[in-house]
Structure 1
């Protein structure tokens, strides 16, 4: 099937035919996972939420944040009561 690329704001968009949408079970607002293939193609699949992957991403994000003084303590020091 050939699809036409359309402009959507500053991005480009593809409309997915309703038959395909029903077949893969996605709905408006769902997230999809997109990968580039070695030959320059695009692979699009429904993104299923995975608790383990989410926990690993959360841990990685938390580890990348420096441990600093509490924001509330900083605000209290500067506050004028």
Structure 2
């Protein structure tokens, strides 16, 4: 299949036909990996999910959340037994 290269800001872009998108299972906002082949071609495929990178990002987000008092402790203080 021949695809047309188009200008997108300061970069170049390719439009992926809808049939290919459905077959590969990618959607808007997904990441893809691109690499060069030995014969000078471009190989593009859906990026794999990286568990270590996800865990690292999750840890950074968790560290950014301020920790306060336990909600359960606040409820217990007002409870009648």
TM class by smaller structure: 0.5 to 0.7
Structure 1 consecutive aligned stretches of length 4 or more whose deviation exceeds 3 Å = none
Two-structure CA RMSD over aligned residues (Å): 1.4
Looking at CA atoms only, which structure, 1 or 2, has the larger radius of gyration?
Answer: 2
Displacement, 1:4?
0.5
Partner SS for 2:40: coil
Find the aligned partners of 1:3 and 1:45 in 2 and give their Cα distance: 16
TM-score, normalization by structure 1: 0.63
Deviations 1:10-41 (A, max 9, x none): 00000000000000000000000001001110
Residues matched between the structures, number: 55
1:43 aligns with 2:57: no
Q: Which residue of 2 aligns with 1:77?
A: none
TM-score, normalization by structure 2: 0.63
For structure 2, the 5+ residue unaligned runs are 57-81
